Amino acid sequence: MPLIDRYGRPIVNLRITLTHKCNYRCIYCHMEGEEKALEELTPEEIERIARVAVKIGISKVKLTGGEPLIREDIGEIVRRLSHINGMEEVSMTTNGSLLKEKVKELAKANLKRINVNIPSLREETYKYITNSEYSPKQIIEGVMEAKKLGINPVKVNMVILRGVNDDQIDEMITFTRKNDLILQLIELENVGIDEETYSKYHADISSIEEKIKNEAEKVIVRRDMQNRRKYILKGGGEVEIVNPYENGSFCSACTRIRLTADGKIKPCLMRNDNLIDIKNLLRNNLDEYELMKLFVKAIEGREPYWKRRVTP
């Protein structure tokens, strides 16, 4: 049974930042709301923490970064986590640049599902957004390989940026529909980026959602996923809308707790004033029961960040 916080939210997901290193410099990167850190946890430490998380009812882990695939030991991390008794699912969000070369190892380690960040299919736009040496074509090769190996679902993350890629949504829908991928359209969040960048690129996703709604034959509300709406389109294809600014409903359905790259329990993406540092305790042989108590304390202290609609 999962633990339930004071707002009635069951905590079933753990999002683990594996590293802050990244081979991209995306103009919108929120760094998972974390302060940059050089230190990283070892695969053994990550496994120890996840074992305790499972004991308090967490059954799903998502690995993120920085870029998680940069870690040489990523296969070992996925394998250790997915073999924990009671762990239902290990998934990952990645920029996909190293996916083609690592996906076999990941599938073998039992990675269940993956989100790949593809903000544009156009070479020029992609480079502008990611400041990387990679092209969308290379990323797509990795995506196709992941599908072939049975990783399912494969989702494409597209953060919408006003004046940059907001005119490219139709072509992304065509691409994801044709290749049996789920598209996530994500509203830019004002986390980890400066005010100027945010106001320059932020687009209200609700007008985009209205258009998608008109093309949909069915809508499914994912209460287990921050009330995210999934639209099944008339001509085939699935689009999910990720809108964090939505009238508090995003936070009200949040079932997630975080572990930072340098070993802190972080109850909320948006806040850094309630972290619990467990790395040093872990390294000083903190026993499982003590660790469990710290998780419980973090969960007890959870507060919804968005209590009303926030307009920029």
Which residues contribute to the site for ligand SAM (CB under 6 A)? 22, 28-30, 32, 64-65, 67, 93-95, 117, 157, 159, 186, 188-189, 191, 193
**Least distance to ligand SAM, CB of residue 6, Å:** 27
**Least distance to ligand SAM, CB of residue 311, Å:** 16
**Least distance to ligand SAM, CB of residue 180, Å:** 20
Cβ proximity to ligand SAM, 86 vs 312, nearer residue: 312
What is the rounded distance in angstroms from the CA atom of residue 262 to the CA atom of residue 38? 7
Cβ proximity to ligand SAM, 94 vs 226, nearer residue: 94
**Least distance to ligand SAM, CB of residue 203, Å:** 11
Q: Find out whether 146 and 114 touch, Cβ atoms under 8 Å.
A: yes
Cβ proximity to ligand SAM, 82 vs 97, nearer residue: 97
Cβ proximity to ligand SAM, 52 vs 205, nearer residue: 205
Cβ proximity to ligand SAM, 13 vs 64, nearer residue: 64
**Least distance to ligand SAM, CB of residue 46, Å:** 16
